[in-house]
Amino acid sequence: MFDFNLKNELDRTSGSQSDDLGPPVNWQDSLKSCLRTHSELEDFFETDIPQIDYAVQIPRKLAIKIKRSKKGSPLWNQFLPSFLETQDEIQRAGLADPIGDEVHHQDGQIVHRYHNRLLFLPTKNCAGICRFCFRKNNIENDSKIFDSNFSATLDYLKNHLEVEELIFSGGDPFLLTDERIAYYMTQFSENTLLRHIRFHTRIPTFMPERVTDKLFGILSEFSKKFTKINIVVHINHPDELDHEVVASIKRLKDAGVDVLSQTVLLKGVNDDPLVLKSLIDKLLLAGIRPYYLHHPDRVKGGMHFYMDLEKGRKIFASLRNLVPGWAIPQYIIDIPGGQGKTNAFNPESFESSGRFITKDGKIVKINYQ
C-alpha cells in the first residue's frame, strides 16, 4: 500500500518518464562525464547560456531532467548559470563566506562551531554545483576529490572529548571512495569517543547511482557501531524526487541509518508554501523526516535567490497551517560572522516581548509574566 501510493505520487508530479534516463551507469563515470564547460552546456541544452566566472557542474542524468523541465523552472534555476550571478548591483550585498566558516576552522579540515559537534570537510567537491551554494566562492570542480590532513583530525578529536557528533560535510562526503569512507569510519569508531555520525549530502539528487552495494555495506556495518548515523539529504523542490532518487534513499534507510532532509528556501525555486507542502508530502512518502528549512544565506554570486526574513517568516507561517506539526522542519538562519544557526521564526531575545504570531499571521500581545 505504501509503495503503491508513493509510486502514484511520483508518477503524478514527475511523470513516469523520469525512469527513462538511460542505462544504469557507474558513478565514477557519471562524475567524469558531468557538463562543465560553456560549450558543453550550450550543446546539451540547445540554447544560449550566460558565461560566468563561477564553476559549473551538472551530472548528465540530472541535466536530462532539467532539460525536460524547461528554462526558468525550479530545476533550471538551481543548476544553470544566470547572468544575475555577476551583476554587481544585485550581488554587492553578498558575502564570500556568508556563514563565517573561516572563523571556526581548525587543522584537519575541521570546523568546530558548537560545543559537542563539529564539521569534518574531507573534500571540497560536490557531484554537481548549486548556483546558490553558500560555499560557491570556495567550491571547485577540478579533479582533486580527496584532501585531508587526517592525523590532525584525530589529534583534535582526542583533545576535544566533549565532541559527541562528527558531521561529514564538504563538498559532498559521498564523493569519497568507499575505501576512504570505510577507513574514516573505522578510525572514528576505534580511536575516538564519537557517538553519532552525520553525513550531509546531495548525492540522491545528483547521482543516485552512488549508493552502491559497497556503500550500503559500510553504512550497515557502522550503523551498529555508533549510537546513531543520520544522513541529511539536501532537496529543495518536489521535482528533484523521482523513482531513482527515492530508490537510492530507500537503500540508505535499509542500511539502518535515519534519513532526514534539509531544504534551502530560495527565490524562484520554492518560495511558496504550497510548493514546500508538496515537497514535504513527497519526503514523507519516501520515508524522509523533514529536518531543516534554511533561510537563504547572503551569498556573493547568489543574492538573486535571497529574500528578506519577513517574506521567509510569512512563507513558514503559512506552511505551518498546511502540514502536521510533527512534519514541520526547523526554520533556521545562519548568523553571518560564524555566530551559528538560530531559529528564524522565534522572538528576538530571551526576554519575552509578549508578542506572538497567530496562524493567520496576525501579531497578538499576551502577557505571560
Name which of 138 and 149 has its Cβ closer to ligand SF4.
138
Name which of 6 and 100 has its Cβ closer to ligand SF4.
100
Least separation in angstroms between CB 202 and ligand SF4: 4
- Give residues with Cβ within 8 angstroms of 189, minimum separation 6: 222, 225, 226
* Beta-bridge partners for 107: none
Least separation in angstroms between CB 135 and ligand SF4: 5
Per 3-state DSSP, the chain is made up of helix, strand and coil in percentages (nearest 5) of 40, 15, 45
Least separation in angstroms between CB 172 and ligand SF4: 6
Q: What angle is formed at CA 31 by the lines to CA 27 and CA 33, rounded to 5 degrees?
A: 115
Least separation in angstroms between CB 153 and ligand SF4: 19
Report phi then psi at 108, rounded to 5: 90, 30
Q: Which residue has the cell 563538498?
A: 171
Contact 330, 290 (CB under 8 A): no
Positions that interact with ligand SF4 (CB under 6 A): 126, 129-130, 133, 135, 139, 172, 202, 234
Q: Which residue is nearest to ligand SF4 (CB)?
A: 133
Least separation in angstroms between CB 11 and ligand SF4: 27
* Beta-bridge partners for 5: none
Buried b or exposed e, range 141-164, using 16+ CB within 10 angstroms:
eeeebeebeeeebeebbeebeebe
* CA 91 – CA 137 distance, rounded (Å): 12
Q: How many CB atoms lie within 10 A of CB 364?
A: 10
Least separation in angstroms between CB 227 and ligand SF4: 26
The SS3 assignment for 159 reads helix
- Give residues with Cβ within 8 angstroms of 297, minimum separation 6: 95, 98, 99, 134, 334
* CA 137 – CA 24 distance, rounded (Å): 33
Name which of 140 and 165 has its Cβ closer to ligand SF4.
140
* CA 354 – CA 195 distance, rounded (Å): 39
Name which of 130 and 211 has its Cβ closer to ligand SF4.
130
Name which of 172 and 244 has its Cβ closer to ligand SF4.
172
Least separation in angstroms between CB 171 and ligand SF4: 6
Least separation in angstroms between CB 77 and ligand SF4: 13
Least separation in angstroms between CB 280 and ligand SF4: 20
Helix (H) / strand (E) containing 233: strand 228-234
Q: Which residue has the cell 574514516?
A: 184
Name which of 99 and 323 has its Cβ closer to ligand SF4.
99
Name which of 76 and 226 has its Cβ closer to ligand SF4.
76
Name which of 6 and 41 has its Cβ closer to ligand SF4.
41
Name which of 99 and 185 has its Cβ closer to ligand SF4.
99
Name which of 198 and 234 has its Cβ closer to ligand SF4.
234
Least separation in angstroms between CB 201 and ligand SF4: 8
Report phi then psi at 255, rounded to 5: -80, -5
